[in-house]
Structure 1
Amino acid sequence: MANSKNVSLDVTIMGREFRISCPEDEKAGLMQSVNFLDKKMREIRESGKVIGIERIAIMAALNIAHDYLSGKGGDLDPDAAQERIDRLNGLLDNALAEQDNLF
């Protein structure tokens, strides 16, 4: 939404606090992203192959980008996917309902 009010959120990624600003209506999506990134970074750290938070962050970013670009999507959360499908279906229903009024 173009006129959505921005909110500041305090998030924690790998035990480090960050303050992030985002549109209010995107807060839930941002929190999902934060949780996804935190999970990926912890998995990399626990593998013991990469040391240092900056290197872990870069490896997580590369892994996520690779999954995205190759169409894998990584570890897709089924509940989040269903929520997104339901939201998209609602948007489609609204758009189609508006089209009915044209004829």
Structure 2
Amino acid sequence: MSSHAIEISLLGRTYSIACPQGQEEALQHVAQNLEQQLSSLKNRTNNLSREEIAIMAALNIGYELLEEQQKNQDYIKQMDDKIGLLQSTLENALVERSTKDD
């Protein structure tokens, strides 16, 4: 898959970022979300450097990702439990039916 550079702006600086073809809109969306986080942090903490703001944003985004991964794992476990219950119910129904047929 070929890629080309697109430009994004973060905290007033423009960056040229390599992007796989067809993924431009996704990268622009991510960049807009990141810009919002960076701007919010900058407005709340005027004394932080760009590097410190970027680190804080990375930590916030990492935490949000961790929370979503945990939610996903919890959902997978719930679905596994429900599938197990359904399998057990079906097996019991089949056993019951086969004993009635005998």
The interval holding the TM-score normalised by the smaller chain is 0.5 to 0.7
The two structures, once aligned, show a CA RMSD in angstroms of 1.6
Shift of 1:45: 0.6
Aligned to 1:46: 43
Aligned to 1:14: 11
For 1:34 and 1:61, locate their aligned partners in 2 and report how far apart those are by CA, in whole Å: 13
Q: Are the equivalent residues in 2 in contact too, given 1:13–1:38 (CA < 8 A)?
A: yes
Are residues 1:62 and 2:59 paired? yes
After superposing on structure 2, the runs of 4+ consecutive aligned residues of structure 1 that deviate more than 4 Å are none
Identity %: 26
Q: Are the equivalent residues in 2 in contact too, given 1:41–1:60 (CA < 8 A)?
A: yes
Structure 2, unpaired ranges of 5+: 70-102
Structure 1, unpaired ranges of 5+: 73-103
For 2:59 and 2:38, locate their aligned partners in 1 and report how far apart those are by CA, in whole Å: 11
Q: Select the structure that is richer in helix.
A: 2
For 1:69 and 1:47, locate their aligned partners in 2 and report how far apart those are by CA, in whole Å: 24
TM-score, L = length of structure 1 = 0.62
Shift of 1:28: 0.6
For residue 21 of structure 1, what is the amino acid of its counterpart? A
For 2:7 and 2:27, locate their aligned partners in 1 and report how far apart those are by CA, in whole Å: 11
Shift of 1:49: 6.1
TM-score, L = length of structure 2 = 0.63
Q: Are the equivalent residues in 2 in contact too, given 1:44–1:50 (CA < 8 A)?
A: no
